Structure 1
Amino acid sequence: MDQSSSTHPFFSERRAGILLHPSSFPGPGPIGRLGSIAHQWVDVLAASGFRLWQTLPLCPPDSLGSPYQSCSVFAGHERLIDPTGLPDWQGEAAADLTADQWDAVVGSVMADGDLRWQFETFCATQAYWLDDFALYQAIKAEQGTPWHAWPVPLRDRHPEQLDEARLAHSRPIERTRVAQFYFDRQWKSIHERAGEKGILLFGDLPIFVAHDSADVWAHRELFHLDEAGQMTRVAGVPPDYFSAEGQLWNMPHYRWDVLAARGYRWWIDRIRRQREWFDLIRIDHFRGFEAAWAVPAGAPNAVEGAWEPGPGLALFHAIETTLGPQALVAEDLGLITPEVDALRLAAHMPGMRVLQFAFDSDAENPYLPHNFEPMTVAYPGTHDNPTLTGWWRALPESRQADIRGYLGCESASMPEGLIRMALASVACLTILALQDLLGLDDEARMNTPGTVTANWSWRVDEDALFGDWQRRWRPDLIRYGRLAAD
């Protein structure tokens, strides 16, 4: 970045926020929706004094529910759409839309002159990703396999075969385009309401993308793949706090040389798209921009990998040159080297500190609040951690005593004492999981890294969502300078 770059003004004021994914909203459907509950949630945040709402990625999740393994990093999750907000809707609010119902929505959009104009404008603006995504979805539904197992002409995107597929699948393509239009419309309505209430929306952008995705199918040249579209290097992390064998993510590594030669345009488009939805963005696995763990394809685990250099500051310079200064947060957990810290500081990003990692060593532990810097986002725990209540109950009594000693109050109640510790810290932002504010045990845990069952499915009870907790924490937000006194 050039010498004129500076910290984004979002990070110059102390704020606190809540982590809650829209899929966790209560309601009659299979997952939460972007309807009236979401708008009421924004009102609750404003009334409570919390001024940020952080979500997980809003893109379509994989078959296990993970939004970090998506068929598109640009698309919205269609099942989050509130069906009662669709034109001429007469179905059940709890149901997912059928193809016939989507066809009826398409017909309503096309019959309404103003709505059709808005839809066509959206399609033209988003064509750089939407056209490939809609076609990918239609072909995959027909083939029933990942793109790299499709017939070669479709796998390798022969123009004549793609033209034939567009004609053959025109109806499902139009359904997908209309669904994305309505996702965008409903989320931006929430974003507008949040802005009116003084709430900032905080998004989450995974660094890597799923192998079986429209993104990789449409841009194979940007990834380490062989001629058949198979990965040659797999992204992941080495053994760490979460797993003794490391983690394999089934995601291909980038060809940063190709991206650089193209001015990092694809990454710039990703940031631009996220900024249409969010005011600030967490960059997941930030250390991968300095160097990322690459594992040979076919390896049984992530132990025998190697660090491969990332793009470094050049990527963030290109983003800022094209889009202007961005409010980005670096997820810098795990094995962080001085080089990663230097990159984060040069890019003017706050890093993350998680209190659950703070009490397993000595006074030099960087996750202890006395070691925080103001350019920090403090979390008692993240979506990958146990809830605070579950974590606390699993600690031995000796560790609990050490933590109470750190707080300087043997009678401190938990997990409230840890929440106040995060709020009182010098970190510019503090993000609290709703599960922790509600004092929920590990039955409310969102994700356990390295496992494939019982994740991403937590739903909050409606009475709890709109309960007394919202008034309980306002005095602490004022006390710790994260909200002006009334």
Structure 2
Amino acid sequence: MAKQTGVRKSGLLMPVFSLPNKYGIGDFGSAADQFLSILTACGFHSWQLLPLTPVGSGYSPYQSESAYAGNFMYISPEILVEAGLVTPAECLAAGYAGDSTHVDYAWVRDRRTDLLQQAYSRIDASYRSEMAAYAERESDWLDDYAAFAVIRQQKNGKPWWGWDEKNLSLADPEAVADFCRQHKQDVDYIRFLAYEFSRQWHLLKEKANKHGIELIGDIPIYVAADSADVWANRRFFKISEDQRLTHVAGVPPDYFSPDGQKWGNPLYDWHALKEDNYTWWIRRIQAGLKNFDCVRIDHFRGFERYFAIPSEAETAKEGQWVQGPGHDLFNTIFRALPDASIIAEDLGEIDDAVRRFLEQTGLPGMNVLQFSFDLYGSERDRPHRYLENSVAYSGTHDNTTLNGWLRDLDDQQRQLVTDYCGGADRKSLLRCLWQTHAERVIIPVQDCLGLGNDARINTPGTIGGNWCFRFTESQLDAIDHDYFLRLNQLFGRFFISGD
């Protein structure tokens, strides 16, 4: 069962890809170290991140080929130099000369792959021994993922249900083992990427924790259909004998999207998961808590009831709610992981049943300031009603920025914000947020700086232009340390680094 600490906290939401550097995408190198320095200078406790998993064609970290693997593009060229795996000249050649405010994923993927293949060719016996030990510890997921990634590569990126060799498509153990023997070096390279990602990430986590900074991770409730997780564990998903998804996940129409959202993820076979004592979910949360101090579970309401959309439907409007596993799942999780630190993302269409479910789990839910001033909403959504056992945000990765939201207010809503906060401006809203009862407040870095709509991370229901915004070094240098330090002091959220 989750426990409140009684300590008021604050933090920033910063995706790794948004960190500034000269390599085209943020990574675990010096820019991450500098961001830790910003957090401590402002008196923040927490760094919240988006999922660190590999990204596909749309670059969404919520649609990944693995729930466990890391995005190799976050592996720092600088740290590879420190390890003696690449030369300074090779690191320099990996620099990006294009637009520093957006990620060019195709360019970064190609250039980082070249660099990492050079690094792999130079690993010595000591490194290989450590890598082998890591692969053994993580074999529950890494064996499946390494095989899946290489087979998919050999099949020119086709999804597993489109592979021409049925035994491989069905993840037959003998066929997969035979394939891995034939492609031993390619499989070994995937293990190298996984190990180096983990090595660099835990170096960063150690630095963060040394400075008293908690790292908050993000676990999407669903996994992608074309993923190692589904391919190797299809008994836990609603997949027909002919490998078709009859229904897919999503959400009904809401504030974000008038047609709802059809995510396309396979739905869980909760009966099969229960028969296995929910081991798959316990391992997934356990892995998250190995990498982070706390994890946010996205779309938490899907455990109480989930939205099932016919796979052939054009929009989510044709979906319907289906009962989920509820308390049975979380009672089992808490027995296995009694000290699990979890934040429940309870946004969207929430009813009394979901509220009761969340309350009984004891987990903190979420409040979003931008949703607290609906002229036709409930008074219980106002900031003064935020529960102590909750996390309050100015906005999430799916929202526009606070300044962007303010600019789009109509006259009535602007007056409500003015009356409530003492002004319809960013700093008045931040002060209002910091004053709430919520034990923890988190704001995107965009709201530290007062950036507009062009700095948003994601616009739900749209294709293209998402998950690519990056900060410049000069922008991060402009964060007002004194302002946030004072805000944290005034409202009991001040943190002094233990270092």
Moved more, 463-472 or 219-228: 463-472
2:73–2:112 CA contact under 8 A, matched in 1 = no
What is the identity, as a one-letter code, of the residue corresponding to 1:192?
E
1:8 and 2:3 aligned? yes
Among 157, 163, 186, the residue aligned to 1:150: 163
Alignment counterpart, residue 270 of structure 1, candidates 274, 280, 284: 284
Matched residue type, 1:402: L
Verify the 8 A CA contact 1:332 1:352 in the aligned structure 2.
yes
Q: 1:105 to 1:232 in 2, by over 3 A?
A: same
Contact 2:414–2:424 (Cα < 8 Å) also in 1: no
2:60 corresponding residue in structure 1: 66
Q: Paired residue for 1:432? A: 443
The two structures have a TM-score, normalised by structure 1, of 0.94
Report the alpha carbon displacement of residue 163 of structure 1 after superposing the two structures with TM: 2.3
- Aligned 8 A contact 1:148 1:228 in 2: no
Q: Which residue of 1 aligns with 2:136?
A: 124
What is the deviation of 1:107?
A: 3.8
Matches within 5 A, 1:455-466: 455-466=466-477
Tell me the CA shift for residue 106 of structure 1.
Answer: 2.9
Q: Is the contact between residue 384 and residue 449 of structure 1 (CA under 8 Å) also seen in structure 2?
A: yes
86-95 or 241-250, larger mean C-alpha shift = 86-95
Once residues 116 and 488 of structure 2 are traced to their aligned partners in structure 1, the CA distance between those partners, rounded to angstroms, is: 45
CA contact (8 A) 1:220 1:229 kept: no
Distance 2:492 2:457 in 1: 29
Match of 1:252 in 2: 266
Aligned residue for 1:295, secondary structure, equals strand
Q: CA RMSD in A?
A: 1.7
Where does residue 141 of structure 1 map in the other structure?
153
Give me the TM-score of the superposition, normalised by structure 2: 0.92
Deviations 1:142-162 (A, max 9, x none): 112011101212111223321
Q: Identify the match of residue 89 of structure 1 among 83, 86, 90.
A: 86
Of the three residues 194, 200, 204, the one matched with 1:180 is 194
1:158 alignment partner AA:
D
Report how far residue 228 of structure 1 moved.
2.7
AA of the residue aligned to 2:288: Q
Q: 1:449 aligns with which of 460, 463, 466?
A: 460
Relative to structure 1, the CA distance from residue 253 to residue 84 in structure 2 (aligned partners, 3 Å threshold; closer, same or farther) is same
Say if 1:180 and 1:396 are closer, same or farther in 2 by CA, change over 3 A: same
Residue 458 of structure 2 aligns with an amino acid whose one-letter code is N
Post-superposition offset of 1:363: 7.4
Matched letter for residue 469 of structure 1: D
Contact 2:10 2:440 (C-alpha < 8 Å) held by counterparts: yes
- 8 Å Cα contact 1:354-1:367 kept in structure 2: no
Equivalence map 1:53-452=2 (5 Å): 53-86=47-80, 87-90=84-87, 91=90, 92-94=93-95, 96=109, 97=111, 101-109=115-123, 111-113=124-126, 115-144=127-156, 145-151=158-164, 152-361=166-375, 364-407=378-421, 409=422, 412=423, 414-452=425-463
Partner SS, residue 450 of structure 1: coil
**Alpha-carbon distance in structure 1 between the residues aligned to 2:479 and 2:264:** 42
Q: Secondary structure at the match of 1:13?
A: coil
The DSSP-based 3-state class of the residue aligned with 1:352 is strand
Give SS of 1:430's match. strand
CA drift at 1:245: 1.3
In structure 2, what residue type is equivalent to 1:146?
A: P
Instruction: Give the superposition deviation at 1:426.
Output: 0.5
**1:314-371 alpha-carbon deviations (Å, 9 max, x no partner):** 2112222122221111110111111111111111111111111111235733331122
Aligned to 2:99: none
Q: Match for residue 51 of structure 1?
A: 45
Identity across the alignment (%):
38
One-letter amino acid of the counterpart of residue 121, structure 1? A
* Structure 1 segments (4+ residues) deviating >6 Å: none
Deviation at 1:116, TM superposition (A): 2.4
Q: Which residue of 1 aligns with 2:100?
A: none
**CA pair 468-154 structure 1, distance change in 2 beyond 3 A:** closer
8 Å Cα contact 2:44-2:495 kept in structure 1 = no
Deviation of 1:205 (Å): 0.6
How big is the shift at 1:428? 0.4
Structure 1 residue identity aligned to 2:71: H
Please state how far the C-alpha of 1:98 moved relative to its aligned partner. Answer: 6.2
Structure 2: gaps spanning 5 or more residues: 96-107
Which secondary structure state, in structure 1, belongs to the residue aligned with residue 316 of structure 2?
coil
In the alignment, structure 1 residue 30 sits paired with structure 2 residue 27: no
Cα-to-partner distance string for 1:197-225 (whole Å, 9 max, x where unaligned): 01000111100000010100010100001
Q: How many residues align?
A: 475
In the TM superposition, residue 57 of structure 1 has moved relative to its aligned partner by: 0.7
The one-letter amino acid of 2:3's match is: H
Return the alpha-carbon distance in structure 2 between the equivalents of residues 99 and 475 of structure 1: 44
Question: Residue type matched to 2:23 in 1?
Answer: G
After TM superposition, the structure 1 stretch with the greater mean CA deviation from structure 2, 93-102 or 386-395, is 93-102
| 1:448-477 Cα distance to aligned partner (Å, 9 max, x none) | 000011101100011111334222211011
Residue 190 of structure 1 and its aligned partner are, at CA, apart by 0.9
Asked if the contact 1:380/1:422 (under 8 Å) is kept, the reply is yes
Distance across 2 between alignment mates of 1:104 and 1:436: 39
In structure 1, runs of 5+ residues without a counterpart are none
Matched position secondary structure for 1:108: coil
SS in 1 for 2:244: coil
Which shows bigger deviation, 96-105 or 18-27? 96-105
* Residues 84, 93 of structure 1: 8 Å contact kept: no
Report deviation, 1:484.
5.5
2:448–2:479 CA contact under 8 A, matched in 1:
no
The structural deviation recorded for 1:439 is 0.4
